[in-house]
A and B are shown apart, each in its own frame.
Chain A
Amino acid sequence: MNTSMKSLVIIPAYNEEASILETVEDIRKNAPEFDYIVVNDCSTDQTLEVCRQNGIRVLSLPVNLGIGGAVQTGYVYAYENGYDEAVQFDGDGQHDAAFLNRMRDHMRKEGIDLLIGSRFIEGEGFQSTGLRRFGIRYFDRLIFGLTRQRITDPTSGMRMADRRMIRMFAESYPKDYPEPESVVAAIQSGMKVEEYPVVMRERQKGESSISPIRSVYYMIKVTLAILVERLRRKEYGK
């Protein structure tokens, strides 16, 4: 395997002062070959200070852009700094860095452009709660109906992109609730999208960006976004 290839972990963080160190420690220990960078989405707590004090590289946004804009900053960084793979990794302790190496190896071997860590392939670990699972299944069906490709965990925030995918995401990435939409965009653009079985934990601290009150808005907005995405022309055809 080419040792000059480098991979980056993008950790979007909004008010994660309580868990950011644990997340970074997890990556240092379980995925030491990966570089990592925190994208601080204008946190109002001490996230930035905690990172700086511990010598963690940070991209600090001057205004709050939301998860899409934050993650995209990481992709722009990965693109500009010549990374071959970039993986999104939540800063709240949901994701397990032990899967990163395996995901990367699988990705390189199979020539995959976007590899999504899915909780539902093997059904181990935290399986999300009732209503949320219903929503995830709905998006699974919707995406399958539109693209003929099965994505069991379209809302997963753990996804690894190769150079081609990094470039596309650096250029355009959905703003809010970006996960299902960006999967469809990738498939639409002729990218090879696959899933890899992972185990996730229940979030330890912090709150989901999707509160129950907003879930109806979320469903409608993401459904429309996916439909619009389906209508867009292919721009990254092979």
Chain B
Amino acid sequence: MMTLKLQLIVGAVMLVALFVIFYMVKKRSIDLKYALSWLAVIIFVLVLDCFPRLLDRLSRALGVFSPVNMIFFLGFCFSLLIIFTLTVIVSRMSERIRKLSQAVALNEEKLQCLEKAVAGKAKEREQETDTKAGQREDP
């Protein structure tokens, strides 16, 4: 059995975490998409914390002696899952950043070439009008 004291501590920690995550989502400093998995973990732990009977039954079914260990073990597994998912996401993002920066560099070079070409054309035209004006003044 879980002691009431532990129940309260786990519950308080989870509530604080829940609050922090909601606050950060509200402030848009984290994306709801990535907060969802954390919210799921918190709610899962909270439910087990509030209904220790459920936890007892679950731990007996999985052959874990101490229900408290059960809660930590499951939380740990979920956390690892989330961290691993993040590794996948980071890899994908670094790939995207690479492609984006390369595209930016290539486009900037094209732009430089264009600017040079345009500037060259403008100069040509200027010279043309200059010579035309000179011809007109000549006679």
Contact = CB atoms under 8 A, between A and B. Distances in A.
Q: What is the size category of the interface that chain A forms with chain B? A: 10 to 19
A60 B107 CA distance: 10
A37 B102 CA distance: 14
A61 B109 contact: no
A72 B102 contact: yes
A73 B108 contact: no
Contacts of A60: 105, 108-109
Contact of B106 (A63, A65, A73, A175): A73
A138 interface: no
Interface of B is mostly: helix
Contact of B101 (A57, A65, A80, A175): A65
A37 B108 CA distance: 13
Contacts of A65: 98, 101-102
B104 interface: yes
B97 A63 contact: yes
Interface string B67-83: 00000000000000000
A39 B98 contact: no
A130 B23 CA distance: 57
12 contacts: A39-B105, A58-B109, A59-B105, A59-B106, A59-B109, A60-B105, A61-B101, A62-B101, A69-B98, A72-B102, A73-B105, A175-B94
Interface of B: 94, 97-98, 101-102, 104-106, 108-109, 112
